Amino acid sequence: MKMTVSFRACLLGLTALCLSTLAQAEPFVFTAIPDQDERHLTERFGKIADHLSARLGIEVKYVPVKSYPAAVSAFRNDQVQLAWFGGLTGVQARELVPGSEAIAQGVEDTEFVSYIIAHASTGLSEGEQLPENIAGKRFTFGDKGSTSGRLMPEFYLRERFGQAPEQLFSRVGFSGDHNRTISLVQSGAFELGAVNYAVWDAEKEKGNIDESKVRVIWATPAYPDYQWSIRGDVDARFGEGFKQKVRQALLEMDAPELLAAFPRSGFIAASNDDYAPIRETAVAIGIMDPEQ
């Protein structure tokens, strides 16, 4: 039996439609550095995935990672195409993936700060500079790859005292995330710590900080921090102009419940050049190779 021209055309059309549907079946995947506990992150970024899915018209998935290096590796290995990085992890990831870009940052991320916090037993109080008598105490950073929990606080400690933290303090720890840093200092396990100011303020607002036990004693000068970074090959995979669509979806994210998940008051455009100071700082304290 011969197929009619119209039937053949219809069959070809259906085949093309099926292939097109299969081509669009690939989800767009993103992750975020684990700067807080996993339950909190999954709750936060599940909402962002829903927002992006609705705006982009394709399936968007959030995939949690266990560590800051794991977030960088996932981006490098194309397990994710978009990531909410800190300043340092963003610089590291983009250097590993040619053509990748920082496309958006929180309004507050242009002027981010870290807090140095102290247990009440130290007797230390807030001042305009770090006090001399922090020397010899127990100090914890956050994650080793954290901009606000390690990189910038270490830079300013070295600048103030002319010593590496291991020389300055009797013990140096790395808690893994900002919530854990607060808990460790509040309990007295460490006498001092470095923490992201936004996490501190959020935990304080929730009533999770007992200021009779732990307090802020110093804030760093401002620096650029968190940003959304995207791989350079997304237009080829998801369609021409896809990168710009993602950028716009992030910049136009204004629902209070979504912004509260970060927390940020809104998002603005970002570029790789905005994070040159972070790279320079990482090189200065030996975290990154100047030849990278």
Domain architecture of the chain: domains with CATH: 23-110+224-284 (3.40.190.10), 113-219 (3.40.190.10)
Q: How far apart are CA 175 and CA 169, in angstroms?
A: 16
Nearest to 97 by CA among 231, 243, 229: 231
Question: In this predicted structure, what is the pLDDT of residue 136?
Answer: 96
Question: In this predicted structure, what is the pLDDT of residue 287?
Answer: 83
Report CA 97 to chain centroid distance, whole Å: 17
Which residue ranges in the chain fall short of pLDDT 50? 1, 7, 10-11, 14-23
Question: Would you say 53 and 65 are in contact if contact means Cβ atoms under 8 Å apart?
Answer: no
Question: In this predicted structure, what is the pLDDT of residue 42?
Answer: 78
Q: Which residues pair with 61 in a beta bridge?
A: 29
Q: What angle do CA 282, 284, 285 make, to 5 degrees?
A: 70
Q: How far apart are CA 34 and CA 178, in angstroms?
A: 9
pLDDT digit string (tens) for 203-235?
Answer: 999 999 999 999 999 999 999 999 999 999 999
Q: How far apart are CA 210 and CA 134, in angstroms?
A: 21
State phi, psi for 174 to the nearest 5 degrees: -130, 110
* DSSP per-residue codes, 89-130: HHHHHHHHSTT-EEEEEEGGGGGB-EEEEEEGGG-----SS-
Question: In this predicted structure, what is the pLDDT of residue 8?
Answer: 54
Question: In this predicted structure, what is the pLDDT of residue 63?
Answer: 93
Question: In this predicted structure, what is the pLDDT of residue 24?
Answer: 52
* Helix H or strand E segment including 43: helix 38-56
Question: In this predicted structure, what is the pLDDT of residue 1?
Answer: 46
- Whole-model pTM? 0.81
Q: Which residues pair with 219 in a beta bridge?
A: 115
